[in-house]
Amino acid sequence: MSDLVIDREVDRSKMTVSEEKAVEMIDVNKWYGSFHVLRDINMTVHRGERIVICGPSGSGKSTLIRCINRLEEHQAGRIVVLGTELTSDLKNIEKIRRDVGMVFQHFNLFPHLTVLENCTLAPIWVRKVPRKEAEETAMHFLEKVKIPEQADKYPGQLSGGQQQRVAIARALCMQPQLMLFDEPTSALDPEMIKEVLDTMIELAEEGMTMLVVTHEMGFARQVANRVVFMDAGQIVEEADPETFFTSPKSDRTKLFLSQILGH
Amino acid sequence: MAETTYVRTEMLPPKPPPPSQTGVVGWMRENLFDGWKNTLLTLVALYVVYALLSAALPWFLHAVWDADSLNECREVIKASWGPEADGACFAVIRDRWHQMLYGFYPQELYWRPNLAFVLMLVALSPVLFPNLPRRMLLFSLVYPFLGYWLLWGGTMWAPVSWALGFVLGYFAFVIVNDRGGTILAAIAAVIVPLLWWFFGAGPFADLVQSLIPISLTDVESRQFGGFMLSVTIGITGIVGSLPLGIILALGRQSNLLMVKSLSVGFIEFIRGVPLITLLFVASTLLNIFMPPGTNFDIILRVVIMVTLFSAAYVAEVVRGGLAALPKGQYEAAAALGLDYWKSMRLVILPQALKIAIPGIVSTFIGLFKDTTLVSIIGLMDPIGLTNAIRANAEWQGIIWELYGFVALVFWIFCFSMSRYSMYLESRLETGHR
Ligand SMILES: Nc1ncnc2c1ncn2[C@@H]1O[C@H](COP(=O)(O)OP(=O)(O)OP(=O)(O)O)[C@@H](O)[C@H]1O
Ligand SMILES: [Mg+2]
């Protein structure tokens, strides 16, 4: 829960929010058995938005973003992603997953494949891109996350920060229109957190639509255009970062902020 | 104050690691005579080795390779090593090795199993060693039919028409998949070949044979025996049970209730029944269910039973591998848009099978050794043959030499499998964990 200072000016020229909706959640509810984990979630994400979701542990943040690419199934309400509604129809689910990238807390790289193979697997088998082209794209994104020299290594031979950057490159190789991040830096040491955050900032600067679950409040301040605070399966407060950090309305938010920022 | 600070002015260059043990004496002191307990153990071990060798060595040194009967062996040994001497009579192996290898296969046709064996190694090599050219796999696909033809003989068109069944199944799948979806296609891919095998294949083979006759001398399953039989049953069982076991393991994990319960039921039933029982079913009961007059080959029946038996074990070992994978691997594959079969094939199974290699190979070693059980239903496997050989007047009373030979050959096969599994594990090692 470090409050790393982001030591450079964030370039906002391409961070434009369009009218078009990327994700729309209407009255979404979900239960684990009898445990009501998501309660009446209503949220709209427009293309180009960078949304940070925060909240205490167990508040349902992971569950919320995992519903967007159907790693979890919602039981009531509607979720429309990139114009396609999520139902039990496998074709729709696969279509959405092709266009939505996800980065996990524990990287989840494929340990039996090299870094390059990790990055080309889905483009080749899902998007049917020719191998040659997929490898060129993969190298392009590996350069972007600044580890092209590791392309032929196996994930087990990389540091945590490098692995997470590979995971980001792997997701980008599918040319997604929306990226989901579930606590991408929580499993990392402080010096590695910075390299991963830098990568994410660059992505934001290029205009990527991003939904980020994180406790990195520095990132939220500098990059997000909206902060969503969740508690007990509900959205408690939603505001631009300036308002959210300086004048939170709800008591729960105030309590959470005081704990996390240590005032 | 200034005295307490320390600043390094010069960085240390790397030094070579300390030398390990110097010389034989140093090694022995370190490993064999390190303290009185270790020394005592070393001495006891030395004594055991000595006792074993002094009992077994003379037996090997006095061995007779050239004799026509056990009595002749004994006389030769007594003549050259004294009346009390004991020795091995390997002459029996020299006399009967062809039987141990081929059973009652006609001698003038030995080239056929020999060729089949060599081609089998060629067919297996691209499967076992991934750096060989992938095109060789085509031969691996053809080999089962070719190998069958070489071993059993008969018209070449019979195995060709069976192979045709698989081709038909493939086309049925492709055609139906375009029109009616995957499930219908899978059903078509099963039904079309079955229909072909039951009604089309026989007449087709007869017809082509009458037009273009190509055939080898028939050899009956009853004439098969020895290690040839063990290898035929063992390798077919291994090659068949791996894919079947994987499918069962996936079936057991499936969300579809029918698939899941069928898999669980099959696995638990087979694992709960001794192999001998299944073999008896194969040798006697199956005939009752068959329409009268059908000639369902006994070796084929045994192979089916052995395959099903070891598939159930392979399934459980593979399930262990699947369970050992973190959930994140399934999620990452799904999040990238890979469908079920692709994520299994590209992400999950390669890792699960790697974890399962030692268990799978153990199962296969067990299967290979269990092929000796077929002697109980009257097939002449190596053990069955030793009994047959000892029933002869010349070799009555010989034990160690024959069983020792059988054990040695089995050991060579099983040890190779075990070494191969270690090679494979180290090849697939990618430094994670
Ligand atoms: N598969 C599951 N079965 C039952 N309960 C679950 C399951 N997954 C999560 N939960 C519960 O649902 C609640 C929300 O979980 P979730 O992982 O979404 O929280 P989170 O906000 O991401 O927390 P954290 O910050 O710790 O990651 C938790 O109380 C958790 O115990
Ligand atoms: Mg979480």
Tell me which H or E stretch contains A77.
Answer: strand A76-81
Cα B142 versus chain centre, distance? 19
List the A84-85 sheet strands across, edge first: A35-46, A21-32, A76-81, A84-85
Query: Could you tell me which residues come within 8 angstroms of residue A181 by beta carbon, excluding any fewer than 6 positions away?
Result: A102, A103, A200, A210, A211, A212, A213, A214
Biggest distance spanned by C-alpha atoms of chain B: 108
pTM over 0.90: no
| Mean pLDDT of the region B358-376 | 92
Residues 76-95 of A with CB under 8 A from B: 90, 94
B66 C-beta neighbours (distance < 10 Å), count: 11
Across A137-146, A193-202, B27-36, B195-204, least confident range: B27-36
> By CA distance, what is B427's nearest residue in A?
A112
A157–B contact, CB cutoff 8 A: yes
Distance from residue B85's CA to the centre of ligand 2 (Å): 79
| Structural contact between residues A189 and A28, judged by C-beta atoms closer than 8 angstroms | no
| Cβ–Cβ gap B338/A90 under 8 Å | no
Q: Is A62 in the pocket of ligand 1 (CB under 6 A)?
A: yes
Q: Decide if B428 and A170 are in contact by the 8 Å CB cutoff.
A: no
% of chain B beyond a pLDDT of 90: 44
Q: What is the pLDDT of residue B240?
A: 93
Which own/partner pairs from A9-13 qualify as long-range (CB within 8 Å, at least 24 positions apart)? A10/A201, A10/A204, A10/A205, A10/A222, A10/A223, A11/A205, A12/A205
| C-alpha to C-alpha distance for B274 and B265, rounded to whole angstroms | 16
Q: What would the two tokens of residue B232 be? A: 């035929």
d(CA B151, CA B218) in angstroms, rounded, equals: 9
B432: pLDDT strictly greater than 70? no
* A32 CB within 6 A, ligand 1: yes
pLDDT at A1 (0 to 100): 45
Instruction: Tell whether A110 lies on the interface with B, counting CB pairs under 8 A.
Output: yes
The pLDDT mean for chain B works out to 88
Question: Is there an atom of ligand 1 within 6 Å of A37 CB?
Answer: yes
Q: What is the DSSP letter of B14?
A: P
Please compute the mean of the pLDDT values over residues A187-205 and round it to a whole number.
89
Instruction: With cut-offs at 50, 70 and 90, classify the pLDDT of residue A168.
Output: very high
Most confident segment among A155-164, B283-292, B384-393: A155-164
pLDDT higher than threshold 80 for residue B296: no
Residue A93 half-sphere exposure, CB side, CA atoms within 13 Å? 17
Atom of ligand 1 nearest to the CA of A56: 25
- The band of B298, judged by pLDDT with boundaries at 50, 70 and 90, is confident
The 10s digit of each residue's pLDDT in B57-90 is 888 888 888 888 888 888 888 888 888 888 888 8
Rounded Cα gap, residues B209 and B206, in angstroms: 5
Residues A4-13: what's their mean pLDDT? 73
> What is the model's pLDDT at position A67?
93
Is A82 in contact with A70 (CB distance < 8 Å)? no
d(CA A167, CA A201) in angstroms, rounded, equals: 15
pLDDT in tens, A242-262: 899 888 888 898 999 888 877
Q: Rounded to the nearest whole angstrom, what is the distance from the C-alpha of residue A102 to the centroid of ligand 1? A: 18
For residue A183, give the ligand 1 atom closest to its CA: 27
- In tens, the pLDDT along B7-65 reads 888 888 888 776 665 677 778 888 888 888 888 999 999 999 999 998 888 888 888 88
User: What's the ipTM?
Assistant: 0.93
Q: Class of the B96-105+223-326+356-428 domain?
A: mainly alpha
* The predicted structure's pLDDT at residue B47: 95
Contacts of B347 in chain A (CB under 8 A): 110, 121
Neighbours of B153 (CB within 10 A): 18
Cross-chain residue pair A104–B328, CB shorter than 8 Å: yes
Kindly list the domain boundaries of chain B, sorted by start residue: 45-89, 96-105+223-326+356-428, 154-216
Q: CA-CA distances (angstroms) from residue B305 to B278, B309, B316, B387?
A: 6, 6, 17, 24
